[in-house]
Structure 1
Amino acid sequence: ASDGKASCSGVVLEDGSEINAKVGVVSNVPLWNMARILQDSVDPAAESPVNDAVAVVQEQADGMYMTGSFMHLHLGIPKDGLPDDMECHHSVLNMDLDVRDEQNMVIISIPTVFDPSLAPEGYHVVHAYTAAADSFDDWLQYLDSEKDSGRVGFDPNSSKASQYARQDGYKELKEGKAEVLWNAVEKVIPDVRQRAKRKGAIAMIGTPLTHRRYNQRYRGTYGPGPAPGEAIWKLNGARTPINGLLACGDTTFPGIGLPGVAASGTIAANTLVGVRTQRRLMRELKRLDALQ
């Protein structure tokens, strides 16, 4: 704390080494995870401006509407006999249902349609996934605790990170939840299951726990979204309740997606420097033909 206000002066790395920040720290950690990291860094029994600020971050995280998670199907299949003019992108859904209903919308991508070098000669790569429409609640039983706390920072390839996959019932639930993906791909490639069993083929199923594990995503979420009945996202900007700690990424304005995340990083950077510095940098970028 400084002058009665919570402030950030640097970061402590996993090996214990410290990096001091002269201007500030920019974090792209999702707000749900940031709240947990900050909680682990303070003494909850102490009364201080830092604890008060951390409580505000937690309140902001709790109030943010969270989209669902994903089931994934990754395939490498022989492409003999398939049309040469096959489309790359497909959406399969029941138009009588809301697009946000659980497992209603499946997105299919076949990137080797555009770039055959992405797979061995004679094969297609296929990725099918439910569009942020899988409930994480079905998978909580396979975590150590009853509630996902946001602590997901294990090495994704470690035994500890993957222990859920060895629990009773997980494989059966995974295969059952993946049926909607297989059924959707069959509408594009009717014999896909047979192709996936042929020599050289590969089929991998990912669950919301897989998505959480490899993407370090709290509850395996896609990210924030407008709450039901609302047309706009209510997202915080770059500034946090802690002086010197700025946020960027998809849980800050303007939100999810690559353009939004890139813009949030720009906003955070602009927040750290004055107008004169920004103009000087823009002149330099124009001189280098990097800015139109």
Structure 2
Amino acid sequence: MFHRHHTKLLSCTASSAKALFRGLQLKAKYDAIVVGAGHNGLVAAAYLQKAGLDVCVLERRHLIGGAAVTEEIVPGFKFSRASYLLSLLRPQIMQDLELKKYGLKIYLRNPSSYTPLAEPGGLDGKAKSLLLGREGQENARQIAQFSQKDAKAFSEYEHQLERIVSAIDPLLDNPAISLPSVMSASLKDKWSSVRPVRALMGSVKSMGSDMEAFYELMTAPAQKILDRWFESEPLKATLATDSVIGAMASPQHPGSGYVLLHHVMGELDGIKGAWAYVQGGMGGVSQAIANCAEDHGASIFCDKQVAQILTDHDKTQGVVLADGTEIKAKVVLSNATPKVTYLDLLPQGTLAQEEIDQLKQFDYTSPVTKINVAVDRLPNFTADPNTKGAEPMPHHQCTIHLNCEDSSLIHDAYLDAQQGKITERPMIEMVIPSSLDPTLAPSGSHVVLLFTQFTPYKLAGGEEWDDHNRNKYADIVFDVIERYAPGFKESVIGRDILTPPDLEKTFGLTGGNIFHGTMSLDQLYMTRPTPGLAGLRCPVSALYLCGSGNHPGGGVMGSPGRLAAKAVLRDFKSLS
């Protein structure tokens, strides 16, 4: 069995291969350097290169993509090793960068959510599962197994979320308000400073009668909101998972409603809220963006770790690589987390102590352990047994929620993590992207991706996440799956286990946090990453934060990269 320390990785990406083929060599100077080839960094590079700047992207790993990456860990099996679904990528970016032209192919999912029950339940004691998708009547039929009231309420719940998402949508494509910038801007710069204000006011106006519901989503526990709408636990628990994905929080915590809202903000092929698998894995997103950037002349290099951002008199001058190579640039954009960018890469003494103190208080707590599994057959769920042999059924194609019979199970797993325990009741989201994408695994075999919570960064009693504890936790997760799908453990060919410290070490995600920082109300919009450092321009001239640690936050969205590039283009003449 291939465990985490035995992984066999792809040796290079198409981008680095292209660079070699084109005979690209690092130059001594560029207009712009992007630190990190995560999807946001690549988006920024593509926009800047299209606008005529000479752009260089420097990636410390052997392949591009950051957390939106595909890796062949078990031979023949291609894993979306970190992020695993596409929905939030902004439509404007898809259009501007012509990502379908540059190779992005997706498989839309319908149905979207499957919750099997370990024991039959529902109104007649015979319901075995809950399957939800885009068809309203079928959703109502499924939910009616558990509650007639909930079946009627669900469509209105969805419509209200859709209206709220439509209202705040412009905020995702505009910078956050910076009140000091608005107040101090010259008359010449007033218009660009006021644009975010206009976007915010437009969102508030279009919210209309949903304003109270929006305020509640931003501030209340998701559990409170769901309890008011619904009475059936399998439905509430399934919906509650979206309120805690990537967050060390319980649905009972104030503000968890926003995380729920964040995960329904997406749109693909004009379908609001749609989620999809990317052909070839999530690295296909990053590769399409890189193809666009390179086609316009950008240079992308792997195995080039940036050790320091060069500054002189509070102005960015370029970067120094780990091997000592200096590369000059008029601007530097960092796709790293705020902690890495400001506290690790900038020379000491660059920032004021107040700014450093705020950065040290920024919350990166992560509950996530990602387990990537190669199996030799489809999971066979007792609730809905396989009836088509090796052919995937509808429920294999969507997100499968395990340990979701009751919302209390999610809260209990959270409490275990707070005590540094390896929980016996993990919350599990399982996806099987090979059910729709045959390029990911050998015929008849499948790729199973497990997004699990809650796991603490530090274990109680000073224990480490060594191989023993990694495998102990993975075995617990597999035992849970076995309860729902007997035979799963026997089908496993290999597995890759990434705890919060592993996510930090492998992908540069501080604390293992997939969003570059907790998506809590105090760390959003004009306070992301901190009140003193919010906005696209950093305290150091010609340095820009283009990753998810900036507004509007995490997920494979691309908006932080696009907004940073737009800010660079507005400033570039004055920086030259």
Provide the aligned length of Structure 1 versus Structure 2: 232
Please report the RMSD computed on the Cα atoms of aligned residues, expressed in angstroms. 3.1
For 1:20 and 1:276, the matched residues in 2 are separated by 15
Counterpart selection for 1:119 from 435, 441, 448: 441
Q: Residue in 2 aligned with 1:190?
A: 486
Q: Residue in 2 aligned with 1:282?
A: none
**AA at the equivalent of 1:21:** A
The Cα offsets for residues 93-148 of structure 1, whole Å up to 9 and x where unpaired, read as 341145682464211111111112311112111111214x32101299578xxxxx
Q: Determine if the alignment matches structure 1 residue 76 to structure 2 residue 356.
A: no
CA contact (8 A) 2:364 2:513 kept: yes
Q: Residue in 2 aligned with 1:147?
A: none
CA contact (8 A) 2:401 2:429 kept: yes
For 1:80 and 1:239, the matched residues in 2 are separated by 49
Q: Determine if the alignment matches structure 1 residue 218 to structure 2 residue 510.
A: yes
**AA at the equivalent of 1:251:** G
Matches within 5 A, 1:195-214: 195-196=491-492, 201-214=493-506
**AA at the equivalent of 1:110:** I
**Helix, strand or coil: the match of 2:315?**
coil
Counterpart selection for 1:20 from 316, 323, 328: 328
Matches within 5 A, 1:1-292: 6-22=314-330, 24-38=331-345, 41-42=347-348, 51=349, 53=351, 55-79=353-377, 82=380, 83=386, 84-85=392-393, 86-88=395-397, 89-92=399-402, 93=404, 94-98=406-410, 101=414, 102=417, 104-131=426-453, 133-138=454-459, 170-196=466-492, 201-223=493-515, 224-227=517-520, 232=524, 234-235=527-528, 236-259=534-557, 262-274=558-570
**Helix, strand or coil: the match of 1:10?**
strand
TM-score by length of 1: 0.68
Cα gap change, 1:52 to 1:205, in 2 (>3 Å): closer
Cα gap change, 1:137 to 1:273, in 2 (>3 Å): same
For 2:479 and 2:318, the matched residues in 1 are separated by 50
**Helix, strand or coil: the match of 1:273?**
helix
Shift of the alpha carbon at 1:78? 1.8
Shift of the alpha carbon at 1:244? 1.2
CA contact (8 A) 1:109 1:128 kept: yes
**Helix, strand or coil: the match of 2:536?**
coil
Cα gap change, 1:276 to 1:240, in 2 (>3 Å): closer
Cα gap change, 1:231 to 1:52, in 2 (>3 Å): closer
The answer to which structure has the higher helix fraction is 2
In structure 1, stretches of 5+ residues that fail to align are 43-50, 144-164, 278-292
Shift of the alpha carbon at 1:14? 2.1
**Helix, strand or coil: the match of 1:21?**
strand
**Helix, strand or coil: the match of 2:455?**
coil
Shift of the alpha carbon at 1:180? 4.0
For 1:139 and 1:81, the matched residues in 2 are separated by 33
TM-score by length of 2: 0.36
**Helix, strand or coil: the match of 1:214?**
helix
For 1:252 and 1:20, the matched residues in 2 are separated by 24
Shift of the alpha carbon at 1:276? 11
CA contact (8 A) 1:240 1:246 kept: yes
Query: Runs of 4+ in structure 1 displaced over 4 angstroms?
Result: 97-100, 139-143, 229-233
For 1:31 and 1:107, the matched residues in 2 are separated by 28
CA contact (8 A) 1:68 1:135 kept: yes
Shift of the alpha carbon at 1:72? 2.6
